[in-house]
């Protein structure tokens, strides 16, 4: 899989801004996980960016060990510099692909699926990463519901090195069912105030941003077909 110096065209500073802005969402996501899925298990963070999510996850659910992988070379460098004493290793996707294959009990990803073009290949990849009865958690927002979709796509193209791919909920369910997963999902709801600032122009207006929260989901997929 292709790697980039930084995933964003604007460099590491924007990746840090994204990390800061996602903190509340990450904490909410972690609170929705099932505790039994993480107890003393091995975890893979697919699309880990600068590694902060695994730190927050470990505070809530101390896993046995974890690996984080990402397309961004600089993000992985930062993640390794910041990991402290956590039982975590970080690799670029290219480095990880060249390592001895490893199995995990849980795979997590956050806001990654809509940058993956080949959904079927991704489902097969995750299936191969997981141990028997392993679980894949990921967050997904259905951007096709945006009233200003073309404007949104243009904005993403301005700063991301990977294009936005508009999968539907049915696409996801069908592909993962087909590839050996039991699929569960739930809708997210805002559990705190939503912060707006002058730099935040990804959505056309405040109403659109709030509306999109109704189309955010957490998937829990269990590997069932061996």
**The pLDDT of residue 6 is above 70:** yes
Report if residue 146 sits inside a domain.
Answer: yes
Report if residue 170 sits inside a domain.
Answer: yes
Q: What are phi and psi of 194, to 5 degrees?
A: -95, 125
CATH of the domain at 62: 3.40.50.150
- Boundaries of domain holding 43: 12-223
117 or 13: whose pLDDT is higher? 117
Nearest one of 134, 133, 107 to 122, comparing CA atoms: 107
Torsion of CA 70, 163, 176, 148, to 10 degrees: 130
* pLDDT tens per residue, range 134-192: 999 999 999 988 888 999 899 889 888 999 999 999 999 999 999 999 999 999 877 77
DSSP state letter for 202: S
Continuous segment of H or E residues that includes residue 150: helix 149-159
Report if residue 1 sits inside a domain.
Answer: no
Nearest one of 24, 225, 220 to 106, comparing CA atoms: 220
Range scoring the smallest mean pLDDT among 46-60, 121-135, 211-225: 211-225
Q: Residue 181 to residues 65, 114, 169, 219: CA-CA distances in angstroms? A: 24, 19, 15, 11
Q: How far apart are CA 60 and CA 192, in angstroms?
A: 19
Report if residue 4 sits inside a domain.
Answer: no
DSSP state letter for 192: S
Report if residue 6 sits inside a domain.
Answer: no
Q: Which two tokens stand for residue 216?
A: 């955010």
Percent residues over pLDDT 90 in the chain? 66
Residue ranges of E strands in 40-84:
42-46, 65-70
> How many domains would you assign to the chain?
1
Report if residue 45 sits inside a domain.
Answer: yes
């Amino acid at each position: 899989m292709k790697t980039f110096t930084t995933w964003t065209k604007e460099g590491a500073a924007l990746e840090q801004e994204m990390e800061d802005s996602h903190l509340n969402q990450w904490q909410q996501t972690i609170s929705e996980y099932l505790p039994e899925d993480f107890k003393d298990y091995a975890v893979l963070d697919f699309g880990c960016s600068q590694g902060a999510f695994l730190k927050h996850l470990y505070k809530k659910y101390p896993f046995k060990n974890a690996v984080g992988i990402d397309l961004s070379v600089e993000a992985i460098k930062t993640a390794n510099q910041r990991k402290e004493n956590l039982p975590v290793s970080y690799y670029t996707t290219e480095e990880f692909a060249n390592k001895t294959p490893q199995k995990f009990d849980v795979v997590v990803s956050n806001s990654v699926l809509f940058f993956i073009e080949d959904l079927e290949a991704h489902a097969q990849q995750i299936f191969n990463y997981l141990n028997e009865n392993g679980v894949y958690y990921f967050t997904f927002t259905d951007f096709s519901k945006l009233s200003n979709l073309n404007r949104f796509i243009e904005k993403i193209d301005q700063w991301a090195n990977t294009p936005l791919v508009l999968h539907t909920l049915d696409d996801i369910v069908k592909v993962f069912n087909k590839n050996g997963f039991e699929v569960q999902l739930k809708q997210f709801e805002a559990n705190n105030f939503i912060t707006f600032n002058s730099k935040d122009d990804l959505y056309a207006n405040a109403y659109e941003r709030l509306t999109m929260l109704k189309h955010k989901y957490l998937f829990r997929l269990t590997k069932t077909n061996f």
